Amino acid sequence: MRTDSSPGSLPAREHLPAAGAGTPVLDVVVPVFNEERDLGPCVLRLHEHLTRTFPYAFRITVADNASTDGTPHVAARLAADLAAVRSVRLEQKGRGRALRTVWSASDAPVLAYMDVDLSTDLNALLPLVAPLISGHSDLAIGSRLARSSRVVRGAKREFISRSYNLILRGSLQARFSDAQCGFKAIRRDVAQVLLPLVEDSGWFFDTEMLVLAERAGCRIHEVPVDWVDDPDSTVHIVRTATEDLKGVWRVGKALATGSLPLDRLARPFGDDPRDRDLAGVPQGLARQLVGFCVVGALSTLCYLLLYSGFRHFAGSQPANALALLVSAVANTAANRRLTFGVRGRGGAVRHQAQGLVVFGIGLALTSGSLAALSAATADPDHSTELAVLIAANLAATVLRFLLFRAWVFPDPPPTAPAPEPHLTGSHLPDPQRTWSDAR
């Protein structure tokens, strides 16, 4: 996973300012590899559609991924014939590499890409980029799995696509519905921050970028699309699926270990209303309670299994202490990341030390309960021990949540918002200046 420095924090969302004359608002990248037959009709159709329907200046960039057929000559001819088309040649294959190269060098404020087969109906292009221009969203994706999408494709591809997205939801907690549709857009200022953190250079590039964007708090807009499968597609399904699963494992491992520096992607205060300090509005209490209960249920199950195992070769008190210690370390780590949203390794040792103090309190409660049970009954059966321990753990759980929230993982102190700039007449936007001037 990449850990090199990113350009800085993600920018606050705002409506894109009017571009200067001749500067494209949108740069649509068409990555190709040995597509000499389809490239010409694709670019001509896309150019005609944008000229007829798109109200802003645009550019079409053909990104040639080391083609060995006549694709470079077709791309060069299109660039010579159409002023809004340019061609970029890469000597290495990889769709992700092509998108990273072109997007990193583009001067357009909105960057998009689509597959050369144009399986997605082009009428979805303006709805795709409009939320990025307005400042409402950071990224936009076409979705073939939305309820109102109309899709024509075989059962095999349908099964693979839905299975892959279920894997993403289950393993990486992804909330977007379709990671593989070749129809996406991103604001350039957001891309400049995200791209240095994206490691993949192939087909998993899209998924990795979306997962990082979602974890960083970016807003992803989804557009239902009409999509018709290309029966002549050259994508190798098995190899692509294998590489995607490897990518899921790599990103999941990086997120679980905290090696991905997502803390550098925090948005400026005030952009997200959840960051605001509002009187009388609890800061994520409901979400924290749900997360804590889920983690607590799993760690309690783990504790009971460990206790039952340790009890076979140790007394009740040593078994209780060992089981509680192991489950407490795991519980603190899980609550740190999942319940209270602490990312990275900073403060992890201190949090575990504080968690051990909380563990000591829980140990006192459960050990005291066992001591009281032993005093009351000379030889209590195993089921009675477990019942007493469950009751004691419930009491310890309530206390643990309160201590975690107030002491181990307290909310950061509120940050005073920056003073609003004083707008004078020379700084006010010109109401006569519109996006159409860019054309």
Answer whether 225's CB lies under 8 Å from 142's CB.
Answer: yes
**Tokens at 7, concatenated:** 């350009």
> Which burial class, exposed, middle or buried, applies to 383 when counting CB atoms under 10 A from its CB (0-12, 13-18, 19+)?
exposed
| Catalytic annotation, pick one of 27, 38, 115, 206 | 206
Residue 84: name the closest of 22, 133, 17 by CA: 22
The span from the CA of 355 to the CA of 107, in Å, is: 49
Between the CA atoms of 103, 108, 111 and 114, what dihedral angle is there, to the nearest 10 degrees? -90
Q: To 5 degrees, how large is the angle CA 338–CA 341–CA 347?
A: 110
HSE at residue 439, side-chain half, CA atoms within 13 A, is 12
Closest CA to 204 of 61, 64, 99: 99
Helix ranges (DSSP H) in 31-84: 39-53, 71-81
Q: What is the DSSP string of 360-407?
A: HHHHHHHHHHHHHHHHH-SS--HHHHHHHHHHHHHHHHHHHHHHIIII
Please name the residue that has the structure tokens 């997502």. Answer: 262
Please say whether the beta carbons of 20 and 102 come within 8 A.
no
Q: Which two tokens stand for residue 66?
A: 């080391």
Specify whether the CB–CB gap between 138 and 220 falls below 8 A. yes
Q: Is 271 a catalytic residue?
A: no
Catalytic residues: 206
